Amino acid sequence: MGATKPDWIKGLPILGLIWLTGAVIDRVWFAIDQSIPGWDQADYLTGAMNYWRALQSPQWFSQSWWAEFWMLSSKIPPLVYISTVPFLSIFGTGVEQSTIVNLLYSAILLGSVYGLGARLFDVQVGLWAAAICLLFPELYRIRLDFLLDYPLVAMVTLSIFTLTMWAVSKGESLSKSQNHPSFHGLTLHPASYPWIWSIAFGIAFGLSLLTKQTALLFLAVPIAWLLFTFLWQKAWIKLAQLLLSLTIALTICLPWYRLNWLLVLTSSKRATIDSAIVEGDPPLNTLAAWIFYLKLLPSLVSYPLLIAGLVGLLLYWKRSVILGEWFISGGRLRQKIDYGGLRKRGYRQAIYRRWWRSLGWLAVFLAGGYLLSSLNVNKDDRYITPLLPVLAVVLAQGLVLFPDRLRGLRWGAVGLSTLIMVFNLMPIEFVPRFWSSTYSHHATLAADWHHEDVIDEVIRTDPYLRSTVGVLPSLPSFNQHNLNYFGVLQNFQVYGRQVGTRLKQVEQDARSLSWFVTKSGDQGSIRQSSALTALEKTIVQSSDLQLKKTWSLPDRSTLYLYHRQVPTLQVQPLETKGGQPVRLEQVRVPNQAAPGQPLPVTYRWSGSWKELKSGLVLLTWSRTDGTKAGNRWLHDHAIALGMLQPKAGKDNAQFQIIERLAMLPPANAAGSYTLTATYLNSKTGETYRIPVPEVRLKINADAIAIADAQVDFVTRLRSLSALIPKGVSALPGVFEQIGSINQYDPTQSYAVQARQTLAYRLQQEPKNLEFAYNLALATVLTRQVDRAIVAFERVTQLDSKNPYAYAYLAFVNLYDFRPKAAQTALRSALALNPNLPELHALNGVAALMQGNLVQAGQEARTFQKG
């Protein structure tokens, strides 16, 4: 006779049908829906595409590749993006293909809910909990979007399930049991169960933190609860297992957090405090902040399920307390008459105790998660969703506890919730008011907002260039993020970026890009409408910009695409073939120009596509008379500013590239200047001199500055780095400008160009302090920490009397968790100027990272006094 299968295995086929039902609902909805992804959805879809591209050619044994891989998503943990990649590889790229990953997270969620309910109560509760998870309005709403919230719900639920299994598991000796589970002939010793579950929890917890940082809000209290419980009980083995779990979790998530922790902190501040102020969320010192989610609860889980589940729990509590003649057996509630039998009474009391302990454990998770989520000043219904699956287990227990004669109420609640789901999801025009919900997610029928048409027009005009489109409107159906996503789908050739958000940057926005999209009518959520209006007026009235094309939109407005008449970059194929070196065929400059002012220059390059695509040019404008004052300036950059789009099969084809740029002579420049040029291959490091046509430029203090000349981004970065030695007071202005440049160059290619060209320059002139600061800033922007430390070490050698040089070195060491090295640098800085409060702040952080709380407190007080 074969061994009897455990009850939880018998429930798996039903669980599979529940998952399949949800999968069918989802794919039917996606087949009907033709909506455009909104801001967040498009941003996350783009993140998945970035990881998909990176994994097309992985370099598993390259440390630098792994660093770049983890930095592809610098603010958002990357698990969702990475887990989407296999589905993009199998089914192709696109919105619907990306959302298939949610079927995986549905399986994780439903399996975890089922396991949690079955372990704490019984299989029937687990199955009902899994089923009603499909009917919670908030869960099916986020399940149909490509967001982090649904995967976070799944991973937090998996974590609490594995944590629960570990907490209740007990090792048993082999003598106590003769039938042990085996896998492919490997028998599992019962004593290993707690260790296995502790490892499983560590993996789940680590993956949760790689899904979204807020996972900690929901798991911190249960972990702390168990920690103190086992400390109180002196359960040292359990504590060792918990330590193992946390070590595994840290090992999994540390590579990403180690590289991105600073941006995580700064972005978290914007996402919480700043957003709460803008959205008008209630402050924490008000009752509204603490009952915010409680008021939303009925809508999040649907009134029928909430009421029915609570009524079932109330009836059970009433009967168990007042009648005292009920107990659970086989998953059904049955009445028993006790004539004083102590054994029956003891069994019933044990069942009650287990039931209350199970509810109490779930209450720890629910209450802890609710309180910590409420502490977040930024309130949104999506932020509380990880609590809902555990709440489903509680409500499912209530549904199961209904007596047989009231079983119809259970099915009635499920039936009503199903109808609510249909009305919330399907594109039904006339929905009865009773069935309407704020958590509806109706499938949208076809509506063309012409994102793909805009992208196609840009690529048709500039087929060999990577382009950035300045986007003025910010509507759910048309904004910078979804235009950017549609551009990414076209081989990452077109990027969309928001412009017109700050009045003082309107002129800079208008000069920095060659493409703009504007719209009539509603412009959407624009913070500074005056800035948008001013930029739109500048674009329309500019003689340099022309209207390229228009489209009619579903909201009866018009979409306008503008393009620069004389573009900054032009790429043309030539008839000749062969891998020829890069040539500089023409240089055009004004007859004379003013010093210290942007100076327009046009370069015409030719050569093979392979050489042009990999080419950096080191351009030096030198004074002809040899005078030292204002004797030269640099105009180093990548050919075509690094904007050439990869083209397969074009390596040996010949192209001509015209660059219409502007350079920046120094303020003390004067006299006649000529040009020398060197080619530097960005991939191989190969260099060769480029012959230069005869050209002479005269700098005259009396010359009139040329209006509208826009300096390229590499030159602007070098100019900004000249402010770095002045210290902390200069940094806000520097990074404000860098933030703008990052908008115009979404891939931050300019920083890589600057780092590579400056590294070469510094090799030629190792004692050039200006180059050293230039290189250090460029390296910081490319977030190569080891190289940044080396760069600032050189800065301190060349600028040894500047305390800020040592402060910068200390900061990059702290960023890389090297507090001892940071304190070494800070000692030199404090010796030069002990009155700088910034130095004491950094020294306090370094002391804190080494566990020296006394010194950290002293430095904090010194910083506050300063």
414 lies in the same domain as 504: no
How confident is the model at residue 186, as a pLDDT?
41
The answer on pLDDT for 194 being more than 80 is yes
Q: How sure is the predictor about 10, in pLDDT bands with cuts at 50, 70 and 90?
A: confident
Is the Cβ–Cβ distance between 136 and 392 less than 8 Å? yes
Q: How sure is the predictor about 435, in pLDDT bands with cuts at 50, 70 and 90?
A: low
423 lies in the same domain as 472: no
Q: Is the pTM of this model over 0.95?
A: no
Domain end (from 406, 423, 446):
446
Q: Render pLDDT for 477-519 as a digit per residue (tens, 0 to 9).
A: 999 999 999 999 999 999 999 998 888 899 999 999 999 999 9
Is the Cβ–Cβ distance between 418 and 446 less than 8 Å? no
Q: Which residue has better confidence, 440 or 622?
A: 622
Q: DSSP class of residue 381?
A: G
Q: What are phi and psi of 444, to 5 degrees?
A: -100, 130
How confident is the model at residue 279, as a pLDDT?
64
What b-and-e string marks burial along 158-195, b requiring 16 or more CB atoms within 10 Å of the CB?
bbbbbbbbbbebeeeeeeeeeeeeeeeeeeeebeebbb
Q: Render pLDDT for 334-360 as a digit per residue (tens, 0 to 9).
A: 433 343 443 445 555 666 677 778 888
How confident is the model at residue 331, as a pLDDT?
39
Q: Which residues, 6+ apart, have CB-to-CB distance to 251 below 8 Å?
A: 206
How confident is the model at residue 423, as a pLDDT?
85
Residue with tokens 């009391």: 349
**Is 819 within the bounds of a domain?**
yes
Rounded average pLDDT over 558-587? 90
C-alpha distances in Å from residue 788, one per residue of 436, 594, 620, 785: 56, 35, 26, 5
Is the Cβ–Cβ distance between 743 and 497 less than 8 Å? yes
The CATH number assigned to the domain holding 829 equals: 1.25.40.10
Is the Cβ–Cβ distance between 136 and 420 less than 8 Å? no
Q: Render pLDDT for 46-88 as a digit per residue (tens, 0 to 9).
A: 999 999 999 999 999 998 899 999 999 988 999 999 999 999 9
286 lies in the same domain as 380: yes
How confident is the model at residue 433, as a pLDDT?
56
Residue with tokens 């086929």: 13
Q: Which two tokens stand for residue 795?
A: 């800065």
Q: How sure is the predictor about 274, in pLDDT bands with cuts at 50, 70 and 90?
A: low
Q: Which two tokens stand for residue 498?
A: 């928001």
Q: How far is Cα 374 from Cα 482, in angstroms, rounded to an integer?
A: 31
Q: DSSP class of residue 184?
A: T
100 lies in the same domain as 114: yes
Of 323, 311, 321, 500, residue with least CA distance to 407: 311
**Is 84 within the bounds of a domain?**
yes
Rounded average pLDDT over 458-476? 95
Neighbours of 99 (CB within 10 A): 24
The answer on pLDDT for 217 being more than 70 is yes
**Is 848 within the bounds of a domain?**
yes
Q: How sure is the predictor about 177, in pLDDT bands with cuts at 50, 70 and 90?
A: very low
Q: How sure is the predictor about 188, in pLDDT bands with cuts at 50, 70 and 90?
A: very low
Rounded average pLDDT over 159-165? 95
225 lies in the same domain as 94: yes
The CATH number assigned to the domain holding 462 equals: 3.40.190
Neighbours of 242 (CB within 10 A): 21
Q: Render pLDDT for 29-46 as a digit per residue (tens, 0 to 9).
A: 999 998 899 999 999 999
The answer on pLDDT for 673 being more than 50 is yes
For the chain, the first-to-last Cα distance in angstroms comes to 82
How confident is the model at residue 621, as a pLDDT?
95
574 lies in the same domain as 521: no
Q: Render pLDDT for 448-459 as a digit per residue (tens, 0 to 9).
A: 899 999 999 999
Q: Are strands 697-699 and 592-593 parallel, antiparallel or unpaired?
A: parallel
Q: How sure is the predictor about 855, in pLDDT bands with cuts at 50, 70 and 90?
A: confident
Rounded average pLDDT over 788-805? 95
Is the Cβ–Cβ distance between 794 and 759 less than 8 Å? no
631 lies in the same domain as 755: no
How confident is the model at residue 335, as a pLDDT?
39
Q: Are strands 615-623 and 697-699 parallel, antiparallel or unpaired?
A: unpaired
Rounded average pLDDT over 207-235? 94
438 lies in the same domain as 489: no
553 lies in the same domain as 576: no
**Is 706 within the bounds of a domain?**
no
How confident is the model at residue 861, as a pLDDT?
82
Is the Cβ–Cβ distance between 237 and 198 less than 8 Å? no
Q: Are strands 569-577 and 182-183 parallel, antiparallel or unpaired?
A: unpaired
Rounded average pLDDT over 404-424? 85
Contacts 24+ apart (CB under 8 A), 359-366: 359/394, 359/397, 361/120, 361/164, 361/167, 361/222, 362/120, 362/390, 362/393, 362/394, 364/221, 364/222, 364/225, 365/160, 365/218, 365/221, 365/222, 365/390, 366/390, 366/391, 366/394
How confident is the model at residue 14, as a pLDDT?
94
Mean pLDDT score of the chain, rounded to an integer? Answer: 87
The answer on pLDDT for 8 being more than 80 is no
**Is 113 within the bounds of a domain?**
yes
How confident is the model at residue 134, as a pLDDT?
95
Rounded average pLDDT over 453-477? 95
Domain end (from 675, 699, 723):
699
420 is in which domain, residue-wise? Answer: 1-171+190-446
How confident is the model at residue 431, as a pLDDT?
55
| 92 Rama sector, left if φ>0, alpha if ψ -120 to 50, beta otherwise | left
Percent of the chain with pLDDT over 90: 64
- N residues, the chain: 866
Is the Cβ–Cβ distance between 610 and 579 less than 8 Å? yes
161 lies in the same domain as 20: yes
Lowest mean per-residue pLDDT among 295-304, 366-375, 425-434, 611-620: 425-434
How confident is the model at residue 349, as a pLDDT?
61
**Is 177 within the bounds of a domain?**
no
Q: Are strands 494-498 and 467-471 parallel, antiparallel or unpaired?
A: parallel
Q: How sure is the predictor about 181, in pLDDT bands with cuts at 50, 70 and 90?
A: very low
266 lies in the same domain as 394: yes
413 lies in the same domain as 467: no
Q: Which residues, 6+ apart, have CB-to-CB distance to 583 below 8 Å?
A: 605, 606, 607, 690, 691
What does the DSSP assignment read for 136-163? Answer: -HHHHHHHTS-SSHHHHHHHHHHHHHHH
Q: DSSP class of residue 465?
A: B
**Is 213 within the bounds of a domain?**
yes
Domain end (from 400, 428, 446):
446
**Is 508 within the bounds of a domain?**
yes
How confident is the model at residue 70, as a pLDDT?
94
Q: Which residues, 6+ apart, have CB-to-CB distance to 780 below 8 Å?
A: 788, 812
How confident is the model at residue 437, as a pLDDT?
56
The helix/strand/coil state of 11 is: coil
How confident is the model at residue 323, as a pLDDT?
43
User: Total domain count for the chain?
Assistant: 4
